[in-house]
Structure 1
Amino acid sequence: MVLRSMCARMMGVVGAVLLITLMMGIGRADAWWDAKWQFRKKVAFDTTDKGANLKDSLSDAAVLVRLHSGNFAFDNAAKDGSDIRFVTADDKSPLKFHIEKYDPKQGIALVWVKAPKVTGSNNQDSIWLYYGNSSVSGIQEAGGTYDTAQALVYHLSETEGSPKDATAYANHASSFAGSLATPSLIGNGASFKGGQQKIVVKPSPSLNFAKGFTFSTWIKIDQPQSGARLFSWEQGPQALVVGIEGDKPFLRVASNGKPAVSAAATTALTMKAWHHVAVSVEPNKRMSLYLDGKEASSANLAGDLPAPAADIALGASFVGDMDEIQIANVARPGAWFAAAVAGQGQDGKLTTCMQEESGKESESLTIRLIKVTARSITFDGWLVIGLCTLMLFMAAGVFISKFNRIQRIKKGNESFLESFNHLHDPLELDQQNEDFEESNLFRIYQSGYDRIANWAEKQGKQKEDVTLTTSAMNIFRAALDRSNSEELKKMNAWMIVLTLGISGGPFLGLLGTVWGVMNTFASLAESGEANLSAIAPGVASALACTMFGLFVAIPALFAYSFLVLHMKNLNVETRHFMEEYALRVEGFHGEEGS
């Protein structure tokens, strides 16, 4: 009764688990946004201490989603990214987004998505990324990616012409002097060399800062600045300036008839490193300067913001690189800049792309990652892998050949010994038997037989009637030893290939790894940037060489050990036969036997 009760309970638990699993499977199938899209990937937001470390929540913020060959299967999406879609976590509402860069050859994509909500101190928020539908065209909407307060966004991703505004307000640059297509933190950026180089923006209704002002950008400088203006809107006594003096950013606001109010950072900028500089100004309240997502300085502002009739200048007298310039006509909270640094910076702690899911059967994650690694392997890596593969095929060929030879020898030895053991005279074996052709014992037998036949011929006797002296028996045994040595040479031929595979394969793979890592760091040193998405493909490529080296060494080691064991057994059997053969010949044809 107790056993029956336990079985009933166990069946109940199993049934409940199966039911829950089935319901989860049905829920997942029903949750798929559109069956026409084959693949999807969850993009999770982490604002906890382990992620972006945001305490306050944000809504309708444009979040950067970085895709690279390590977290996205470019082969499963359209070549131009036109089938990419973003959907809310409940799989119901498509989200506005636009692509700044999409390059499957380089394995990089930069996509800006309007996130409905990013909750502070939370890691449960997420959105869905869908792709894998060749029948659709792109529906990007750059303007819809931003809220109505976002007045200007320059990605600086253009390769020629003037910077273009990504918002719906189209506050494009009226003139530009500087360099575009500069490798930057987020795709490409712009470089300025001071002097007259700058971006000029004409005033517009959307660039009205009566209710507040927010400016942010990424910068990298190689030298201290002198009067650099990241943002400047100045005319006479009115001025709204965000700049750098020496190596410290500052904010200055001056209105008609009122003293200028300034806020300067006390922390110096690190040379040749990217920094996020942002300001938030609320009229009649407060103005704050942020450096790398943290408030660096602040001041009370008693009065309205100025409204000069002059043009807005970006990057005037600035020497360095700029990327991702954003201007809003409201005062953004501090969490906005912390999220920007965490989401746009090199660490990318705000967003995480989870494992790919498929709407129907497709290749496994392991196969996809292998393809990703294969695409990252450089020429020198393929050269080493090619050599390792050649060694592997040679080792496999030697193993198969030796294994087949050993099996044939064993079969031939069985037939030979069956006949030899039934002989009265050890020299009366039928040597025309084709079953003995593969037997090494038969070939050793023949060498001894031939030696006795030659000795008997010299004595003028038939081999059946010959009586072997001690000297003749020594010659007979020497013939057996020589024949055995020749058989061992044949058996050991080409075994050096397996030895080289065992000892040389790992070192050859290590050579490719060191070479690949050296090239990876050399390219990083040349570009001046270092981040995980840039390093990971090169390191994966380098480690692939080590893996192929082990692919050679491990099977070669097993094959070598297997063959050596069987060859030792054959050698033991051969030595026993030689002793028995010599003793039987001596007993039948020796002086004492006669």
Structure 2
Amino acid sequence: MRRSLLFFLFCLMLPLSAQAWWSDDWQYRKQITLDTTAAGADIAEPLTDVPVLVRLHTGNFGYFLDIMPAGEDIRFIAGDDKTPLEYHIEKFDPINEMALIWVRIPELPASAATRSIWMYYGNPDAVDAQDAAGSFGAREALVYHFMKGETPPRDATAYANHVSGFNATLDPAALIGDGAAFDGSGGLVVPAAPSLAFAPEEGWTWSAWVKVEAGQSGAVLLERGDAAGRFSLRLEDLSVTARVEADGAVLAETPGNAALTPGNWHHLALRLEQERLALFLDGLETAFVETALPPLQGDLRVGMNAAGEAGFIGALDEMRVSNTARSAAWIQAAVNGQGPASNLLVYGEDGQQEGGGESHSYFAVTLANVTVDGWVVIVMLAIMAAISWVVMVSKGLVIGRVRKDKPRFQQAFARISGSKVDALDDDSVDTEDDSNESALLTALSGKHEHFESSPIYRIYHAAVHEMHHRSARAVGAQAVPLELSPQAVNAIRATMDSAMVRENQKLNSQMVLLTIAISGGPFLGLLGTVVGVMITFASIAASGDVDVNAIAPGIAAALVATVAGLAVAIPALFGYNYLSSRIKEISADMRVFADEFVAKIAEQHS
């Protein structure tokens, strides 16, 4: 018993093994969690065979270039990492970094956030495995995505209930990819088919996303049947009503509780069952009537009535017909999984196969979501940083040599400070001869590598040369002592002042590049951040996914530009302050030396 307990404790201490990898042929995968809790889609009952919409964009996915051009290598695997899931791609645009993919979920639990699926990608040898018909259950009798290039629209289900008449146009700015735009002069017609029949014991459901720009009187959204019996959805101003007619008379009509907001997308659903007709708006039942439903048969018309009149003006997207009465939870799942909220799916981090499928680091995920404009700003900041570092290093080396040579010259000059200054230039005098201070001063006016880096020496050298031009030489070996007038002393001071100006210019040259990095770096980084945030929100608006997990990566990537700007400015600020203080110190030493030198020659040679 004791050994068993010790073994159990030892097993608990062992690290948990990594999640299994579905196939070694795929390099990457992304975890997607199905959130049916109140914080997510708020699904109160379990559902089966639910097609969910996977929206990929720069806000939640940054590896479009790792996928084949048309998404052929995308695969969806159940949470057990073994069972493939049927899917099909409605839109895949790696250039604009956007994808819309429908995945069939066999079982969607209620009020839970523990069920996940995996999206695998990154296999250049993969073949396309899409299965549009398998992406929907047997009860889905008709699904129109209104995809680009499909005119007239085609049914995505296995029943192939394609449009027989289509007088609308495709709208590229719909809620989910493309949609259908109606101008009131026509609509679309779906011919009657056994799969579209209404059986009272099974029920029948129609749903679609609808947008109108203004109220309309009597416009027909949906109609089916003939003079013997039909039902319809109508617009009265901005209110949607459902009407049942038989033999030309209105049997029942729902109240106008379902009011649309102009310019906004709304999810409409009409559910028929036994002797009840219910109307849902944005997932909530807003109105119903209980009445005997006549036999409903014939073509299904959208956007107009049987006579081609009462045309609807607006847009439609993701139209579906189910040959069963869908539950309120099912309709709610469609609203929260497809609409602007899109809070059914929670997108996790991307992982790679190396190391057992461990996730990328947060820094790598952030960099992967940086947009092209962000990289442009970052490259500009990198160039600015490189220039500032070159300036700081070169200036630091120069100042280091100055601080090294300045004491040597000052010590040599101090040894002759008590002698009469002789401006005769004689390079032959030894600087190490302490017995002849006048000769030592003369030697300081020559070329000396151990003084050349000192600006004080160069000022002194300029002054001595100015004195040299004013010196008088005697015939023979004896020289006439140098006498300087006040004007000559002022001329020497002017020469030393001009030399100081040139030395200060040399010391301060290229320092302006540091001030540009200090002031311009943060602003350039802020520009990159603002543009990145704009692109992130524009992408989210285009895809309709406003989940925080979709926003966070894009915002984090946009902030990289600000971080880069600060990374440029902060070192440049420290370096500029340090170098400026040293340059001011050297300038002060030059001024002090010039004053002392002029005073000395005025005293000795005036």
TM bucket, shorter chain: 0.7 to 0.9
- Partners of 1:543 and 1:27 lie apart in 2 by 32
SS in 2 for 1:126: strand
Structure 1 residue corresponding to 2:195, chosen from 184, 200, 206: 206
1:23 aligns with 15
Matched-pair contact (CA < 8 Å) for 2:31–2:347: yes
| Contact residue 22 and residue 82 of structure 2 kept, 8 A | yes
**Which position in structure 2 is the counterpart of 1:146?**
136
The answer to whether residue 255 in structure 2 is matched with residue 264 in structure 1 is yes
Q: Cα offset for 1:540?
A: 8.1
Deviation for aligned residue 1:518: 8.0
Give the drift of 1:358.
1.3
Partner of 2:168: 178
Structure 1 Cα separation of the partners of residues 546 and 473 of structure 2: 85
Pick closer, same or farther for the CA change 1:414–1:202 going to 2, 3 Å: same
**CA shift for structure 1 position 558:** 2.6
For 2:302, the aligned partner's letter is L
> Residues 19-418 of structure 1: matches in 2 within 5 Å?
22-24=14-16, 26-28=17-19, 31-72=20-61, 73-195=63-185, 197-210=186-199, 211-254=202-245, 260-284=251-275, 286-301=276-291, 303-304=292-293, 306-308=295-297, 310-316=298-304, 317-360=311-354, 364-375=361-372, 382=376, 391-417=384-410
* SS of 2:192 mapped into structure 1: coil
Q: Is the 8 A contact 1:152 1:166 kept in 2?
A: yes
Q: Does structure 2 conserve the Cα–Cα contact (< 8 Å) formed by 1:441 and 1:574?
A: yes
Aligned to 2:341, the other structure's residue is in SS state coil
Counterpart CA distance in 2 for 1:467 and 1:39 is 89
Change (3 A) 1:513 1:76: closer
Structure 2 CA distance, aligned partners of 1:18 and 1:79? Answer: 49
Alpha-carbon contact 1:265-1:289 (below 8 Å) kept: no
Judged with a 3 Å threshold, the aligned counterparts in structure 2 of structure 1 residues 126 and 513 are, in CA distance, closer, same or farther, namely closer
- Please say if residues 233 and 242 of structure 2, whose CA atoms lie closer than 8 Å, have aligned partners that are also in contact: yes
1:530 shift after superposition: 7.3
Letter in 1 for 2:573: L
Deviates more, 1:444-453 or 1:544-553: 544-553
Equivalent pair of 1:498/1:557 in contact (CA under 8 Å): yes
Q: Does structure 1 retain, via aligned residues, the 8 Å contact 2:385–2:568? A: yes
For residues 178 and 516 of structure 1, the distance between their equivalents in structure 2, rounded to whole angstroms, comes to 36
Shift of 1:305: 5.2
2:432 aligned residue: none
Judge which range, 576-585 or 247-256, deviates more: 576-585
What is the number of equivalent residue pairs in this alignment? 563
Task: Look up the equivalent residue of 1:489 and give its one-letter code.
Answer: Q
Provide the rounded CA distance (Å) in 2 between the counterparts of 1:571 and 1:94. Answer: 76
Out of 413, 421, 433, the residue aligned to residue 448 of structure 2 is 433
Identity over aligned pairs, percent = 38
How far apart, CA to CA, are the structure 2 residues paired with 1:497 and 1:395? 6
Greater shift after overlay, 201-210 or 404-413?
404-413
Q: Quick one: structure 1 residues 20 and 416, their matched pair in 2 at CA, closer, same or farther if it must change by over 3 Å?
A: farther
Give the 3 Å change call, closer, same or farther, for CA 463–153 of structure 1 in structure 2: farther
Report the Cα distance in structure 2 between the residues aligned to 1:117 and 1:61, rounded to whole angstroms.
Answer: 7
In structure 2, what residue type is equivalent to 1:23?
Answer: P
The alpha-carbon distance between structure 1 residues 507 and 71, as it changes in their structure 2 partners (threshold 3 A), is closer
Give the alignment of 1:529-540 within 5 angstroms. Answer: 532=546
1:96-145 CA distances to partner (integer Å, 9 max, x unpaired)?
A: 11111111011110011111232232222221111111121111111111
Instruction: Please give the per-residue CA displacement for 1:410-432, whole angstroms capped at 9, x wherever unaligned.
Output: 34335534544555336233523
The answer (yes or no) to whether the contact 2:176–2:544 under 8 Å persists in 1 is: no
Contact 1:356 1:365 in 2 (8 A): no
- How far residue 507 of structure 1 moved from its aligned partner, in angstroms, is 4.1
| Per-residue deviation, 1:398 | 3.2
Q: Which residue of 2 aligns with 1:490?
A: 506
Q: Note the residue ranges of structure 1 that are not aligned, 5 or more in a row.
A: 1-12
Contact 1:157-1:181 at 8 Å conserved across structures:
no
User: Which secondary structure does the structure 2 equivalent of 1:496 belong to?
Assistant: helix
Counterpart of 2:216 in structure 1: which amino acid? Q
Conservation of the 8 A alpha-carbon contact between 1:117 and 1:125 = no
Q: Taking structure 1 as reference, are residues 505 and 375 closer, same or farther at Cα in structure 2, changes over 3 Å only?
A: closer
Moved more, 392-401 or 214-223: 392-401
Deviations 1:206-259 (A, max 9, x none): 112202011100011112223333321121131022232221112223457996
Whichever residue aligns with residue 584 of structure 2, its letter is K
For 2:179 and 2:486, the matched residues in 1 are separated by: 96
Contact kept in structure 2, 1:388 and 1:505, CA below 8 Å: yes
**Contact conserved, 2:205 with 2:321, CA < 8 A, in 1?**
yes
| Root mean square deviation of aligned Cα | 3.7
Letter in 2 for 1:406: I
Which amino acid in structure 2 is aligned with residue 155 of structure 1? Answer: H
**Match of 2:283, as an amino acid?**
G
Does structure 1 retain, via aligned residues, the 8 Å contact 2:365–2:553? no
Deviates more, 1:501-510 or 1:55-64: 501-510
Return the alpha-carbon distance in structure 2 between the equivalents of residues 540 and 159 of structure 1: 36
SS in 2 for 1:435: coil
Quickly say closer, same or farther: Cα 1:363–1:332, change in 2 above 3 A.
closer
Rounded to whole Å, the distance in 2 between the matches of 1:64 and 1:360 is 29
Whole-Å Cα distance in 2 between the matches of residues 56 and 542 of structure 1? 39
Over 3 Å counting, the alpha-carbon distance change for 1:508 and 1:257 in structure 2 is closer
Q: Does 1:452 align with 2:467?
A: yes
Contact 2:88 2:132 (C-alpha < 8 Å) held by counterparts: yes
Q: CA deviation at 1:176?
A: 1.1
Range with bigger deviation, 291-300 or 260-269: 260-269
Answer yes or no: is the 8 Å Cα contact 2:57–2:543 preserved in 1. no
1:53 and 1:133 map into 2 onto residues whose CA distance is 36
What is the alpha-carbon distance in structure 1 between the residues aligned to residue 480 and residue 410 of structure 2? 21
Deviations 1:32-65 (A, max 9, x none): 2222211111111222232222322222211111
Residue 574 of structure 2 corresponds to 558
Question: CA 1:198–1:18 in 2, change beyond 3 Å: closer, same or farther?
Answer: farther
Deviations 1:250-280 (A, max 9, x none): 2223457996232234142111111100011
Call closer, same or farther: CA 1:257–1:266 in 2, change over 3 Å.
closer
